[in-house]
Amino acid sequence: MKNLKNGCSYSELWVSPEDWRTTTAKSSLKKQWYVQCYYYDPLFADKYPKGFPFRKKLNRIKTLEQRKEAVKFFLEEIPKLFEDKLWNPITKNYMAVEEDIYNYDINPNTKIIDAIRFVLDRLEIETRTIKEIRNIVDKFERSVKNLRFQEISVIDFKRKHYKLVIENIEKIDGKFSAHKYNKYRSYISILFRDLLEYEAVEYNIMKDIRKKTTEKKIREILSEDERKQVNQFLKEHYPDFWRFTIIFFHSGGRITELLRLQIKDVDIKKQVYRTLIKKGNQSQWIERPIKDIAVHLWQRSIFGRKEDYVFSTGLKPGPEIIAYKNIQRRWKMHVKDKLEVTADFYALKHLNLDETAELLSLEDAARLAGHTDTKMVLNHYAVGEESRKLERLKKLNNKFA
């Protein structure tokens, strides 16, 4: 399937008869000769759910050689017609996008989807977040076209349009949870924030869209027995994954940060490693500590070239960045499935930060996690802090008299 700039797409071309290249029999002239594909336009999805059958018939041509030449011609020209000129065989119109508007300029009259795509292509944030936003924008665009809102200028796209677009996505994909609803709101708000900076809109309409109330779930962490079991099993059977697991546990960082980490960014003598933190459109290099207890594991992890990633293929130094899901897959396969542990790999970070808060302070836990204040640690990571507060209050012996 080939996607087009106008939001449409078309299938691979095929030819009838299949042996058109090799046939020499005059009897084949009696067969139906044509070049065909299916063209998909979201605006006509109800009328042509399987695509519009676009066919070029060739039976008027009387000789085999001429038909073969005609097939070659259409196989070459039809893609040009769709891709370069954006010709729509359903509407019989050319839908060419103005390149200067689509790629280089943006203004209040730019159509809503073109405007969103413009700022999306220029976002400088975490790769995984970009992928999530692109997925949401794809569904957003589909809904906009289904509702026939694609001709609305970005300046005229209001809160009511957004609400209708989201409601339409829910009709197709199912009702949103509060968390999913808020994620759409947050990501679209990022795009409108940038549209505001480009002066394509007068204000960020998403600020007036209310968040939905979510239930705060208690993060499941590993019990003491599970920690011993996981430690022993991984160390014996999967030593490289065990080494990564223990380093991650003590690091206070994110999985993606460790996977992006290069050997040159690790300083064993100073017991620190440098990592780039990306939040919104801002990036900042920070230093995270390497604990005494984990130094020997880091020393075993940083052999090779300085430009190599510390945890590449096989969780050993190498030139390639491995995917986040690689860690999730290993944890599920070796820990969840084999040991029947239900906690996620990321629970290790919660566990470490909670213990840091208990043994040292919330401020130290926040510093280890790279946060500027304790709010994030208290709300999301220090799962035992509330219980510790209660215990401290219970032991407060302030006498009345």
Per-residue pLDDT reduced to its tens digit, 121-145: 888 777 778 889 999 999 999 999 9
- How far, in whole angstroms, is CA 10 from its chain's centroid? 25
Number of Cβ within a 10 Å radius of residue 122: 11
In the block, residue with structure tokens 């070459």: 76
Say what the pTM is.
0.52
pLDDT of residue 362: 67
pLDDT of residue 217: 66
Evaluate whether 182 touches 136 at the Cβ level (below 8 Å). Answer: no
Instruction: Please check the confidence at residue 3 and state whether its pLDDT lies above 50.
Output: yes
Instruction: Please check the confidence at residue 381 and state whether its pLDDT lies above 90.
Output: no
Kindly give, in sequence order, each residue whose CB lies less than 8 Å from that of residue 346, ignoring residues fewer than 6 positions away: 255
Instruction: Please check the confidence at residue 230 and state whether its pLDDT lies above 50.
Output: yes
Instruction: Please check the confidence at residue 99 and state whether its pLDDT lies above 70.
Output: no
Kindly give, in sequence order, each residue whose CB lies less than 8 Å from that of residue 238, ignoring residues fewer than 6 positions away: 330, 334
Instruction: Please check the confidence at residue 169 and state whether its pLDDT lies above 60.
Output: yes
Average pLDDT in the chain: 86
Instruction: Please check the confidence at residue 157 and state whether its pLDDT lies above 60.
Output: yes
- Mean pLDDT for 30-43 is 93
- 360 falls in which pLDDT band (50, 70, 90)? confident
pLDDT of residue 241: 95
pLDDT of residue 280: 52
Helix (H, G, I), strand (E, B) or coil at 247: helix
Instruction: Please check the confidence at residue 245 and state whether its pLDDT lies above 90.
Output: yes
Instruction: Please check the confidence at residue 164 and state whether its pLDDT lies above 90.
Output: yes
pLDDT of residue 100: 41
Evaluate whether 205 touches 159 at the Cβ level (below 8 Å). Answer: yes
Cα-atom radius of gyration of the chain, to the nearest Å? 29
- Mean pLDDT for 366-388 is 58
pLDDT of residue 101: 39
- Mean pLDDT for 284-308 is 89
Instruction: Please check the confidence at residue 96 and state whether its pLDDT lies above 60.
Output: no
Instruction: Please check the confidence at residue 40 and state whether its pLDDT lies above 70.
Output: yes
Instruction: Please check the confidence at residue 98 and state whether its pLDDT lies above 50.
Output: no
Instruction: Please check the confidence at residue 379 and state whether its pLDDT lies above 60.
Output: no
Instruction: Please check the confidence at residue 394 and state whether its pLDDT lies above 60.
Output: no
What is the H or E stretch that residue 34 is in?
strand 34-40
Least confident of 34-43, 201-210, 230-239, 280-289: 280-289
Helix (H, G, I), strand (E, B) or coil at 90: coil
Instruction: Please check the confidence at residue 281 and state whether its pLDDT lies above 60.
Output: no
Whether the bond between 79 and the residue before it is cis, its omega within 30 degrees of 0, is no
Evaluate whether 91 touches 7 at the Cβ level (below 8 Å). Answer: no
Helix (H, G, I), strand (E, B) or coil at 23: coil
Instruction: Please check the confidence at residue 19 and state whether its pLDDT lies above 90.
Output: yes
Instruction: Please check the confidence at residue 5 and state whether its pLDDT lies above 60.
Output: yes
pLDDT of residue 375: 58
